[in-house]
Amino acid sequence: MSRRDEGAARPPSAESGAPGVAPGAAPVEAGRTGDTASECRNCGAALRGAFCHACGQEAREPPTRLLPLLHVLAQHATGLEGRAVRTVRTLFILPGALTRAFVDGRRAAFAHPVQVYLWCTALFFLSHAYAPVVRLDPDTGAITSSLSAVAVGTGVSAATRERVRERGLSGAEFVDRFDAVVSASLPALLVGVVGAVALIMALLFRGESALMHTVFALHWAAFYFALDVLRQLVARAGRPGVVVSMLGSAVALIYMIVALRVVYRRGWPSTIARGVVAWITFALLLVAWLWGTSLLAQRLA
Ligand SMILES: [Zn+2]
């Protein structure tokens, strides 16, 4: 956990009027066991206030008795949960607001951008385990993906079909091997997307900070992968794939433009033009990844 997380956990403990909350009240009483600590037990710094100024650890020891302990655990759970819910809600309802808050220094109220990104990519991996991001149809040899409305290349090549036949692999076995290669290449995609989006932003919005570009990229990618999970769910509920794919792309484009406006604060015409360029570049990069991966997967499968 980072110091920022510890910071966000402060309100419940501050509200509880815990001993040692008042700044300068030292030594701090440590829990109900009666022992008092004047040094942080995590890093050894002299304690002053409710949290260690050096490492962020709470000065108050967790209670050792059951009822007080349950009370403190409940405070932590609701504090974290409140922040997580607020973060996710803001990510989906207010494009760009999380990035703006982070850049403006309002950070304790929301989860860290890297954390948000990890939540969404974890969800993405989970969904991938049920419905592969890149699908190979063993009968037709067609390769499709929910990540892109564009069919990936022309499907499985004649040479690959020949090789599969020679090695005596069944269609299902070949699909399994293909899926394994795609899965192995996903982490590279998840890291690469953030780098690529940050780079696109740096080129489109010169003069803004690397921090702004990077945080924007994390939040955008988090939203995009979460949106893909949603798209998968809707697609599995029986809606026609192309419609869902197009609708998802439209939502993502609108989200991108609004987020850019909120974060970079340019005029609407300039924002829309840059948003469209960013979106097309992003879509092309995704198609390039899908194409490269499916070629590689055919080779290695
Ligand atoms: Zn410390």
Among the three residues 42, 66, 93, which one is the final residue of a domain in this structure? Answer: 93
| Residue 265: HSE in the Cβ half-sphere, 13 Å Cα cutoff | 8
Q: CA separation (Å) from 51 to 39, 43, 65, 246?
A: 11, 12, 22, 50
Q: How far is residue 53 CA from its own chain's centroid?
A: 29
- Name which residue leads in pLDDT, 68 or 143: 68
- Same domain for 231 and 293? yes
With bands split at pLDDT 50, 70 and 90, how would you rate the model's confidence at 15?
very low
- Name which residue leads in pLDDT, 18 or 93: 93
Among the three residues 74, 93, 112, which one is the final residue of a domain in this structure? Answer: 93
249: CA distance to ligand 1 center in Å?
Answer: 47
Give the tens place of pLDDT for each residue, 38-51: 889 899 988 888 88
8: CA distance to ligand 1 center in Å?
Answer: 16
53: CA distance to ligand 1 center in Å?
Answer: 7
pLDDT at 91: 96
Six-digit token string for 56: 């962020």
- Same domain for 36 and 147? no
- Average of per-residue pLDDT values in the chain: 81
Average pLDDT over residues 67-96: 87
- Same domain for 167 and 250? yes
CA dist 249 and 147 (Å) reads 9
112: CA distance to ligand 1 center in Å?
Answer: 21
For the full predicted model, state whether its pTM sits above 0.85: no
Give the tens place of pLDDT for each residue, 135-169: 787 777 777 777 765 555 557 777 787 888 888 87
In this predicted structure, the answer to whether residue 33 has a pLDDT above a threshold of 50 is: no
42: CA distance to ligand 1 center in Å?
Answer: 5
Give the tens place of pLDDT for each residue, 241-281: 677 778 888 999 999 999 999 999 999 999 999 999 999 99
- Same domain for 201 and 112? yes
- Same domain for 229 and 255? yes
Among the three residues 64, 93, 122, which one is the final residue of a domain in this structure? Answer: 93
3: CA distance to ligand 1 center in Å?
Answer: 10
Q: Is 174 exposed, middle or buried (0-12, 13-18, 19+ CB in 10 A)?
A: buried
77: CA distance to ligand 1 center in Å?
Answer: 22
With bands split at pLDDT 50, 70 and 90, how would you rate the model's confidence at 173?
confident
- Same domain for 193 and 129? yes
57: CA distance to ligand 1 center in Å?
Answer: 6
Range of the domain at 62: 3-93
Give the phi and the psi of residue 269 in degrees, each rounded to 5: -55, -45
99: CA distance to ligand 1 center in Å?
Answer: 29
- Same domain for 21 and 110? no
3 state SS for the chain: CCHHHHHHCHHHHHHCCCCCCCCCCCCEECCCCCCEECECCCCCCECCCCECCCCCCECCCCCCCHHHHHHHHHHHHHHHHHHHHHHHHHHHHCCCHHHHHHHCCCCCCCCCHHHHHHHHHHHHHHHHHHCCCEEECCCCCCEEECCECCCCCCCCCHHHHHHHHHCCCCHHHHHHHHHHHHHHHHHHHHHHHHHHHHHHHHHHCCCCCHHHHHHHHHHHHHHHHHHHHHHHHHHHCCCCHHHHHHHHHHHHHHHHHHHHHHHHCCCHHHHHHHHHHHHHHHHHHHHHHHHHHHHHHHHHC
82: CA distance to ligand 1 center in Å?
Answer: 25
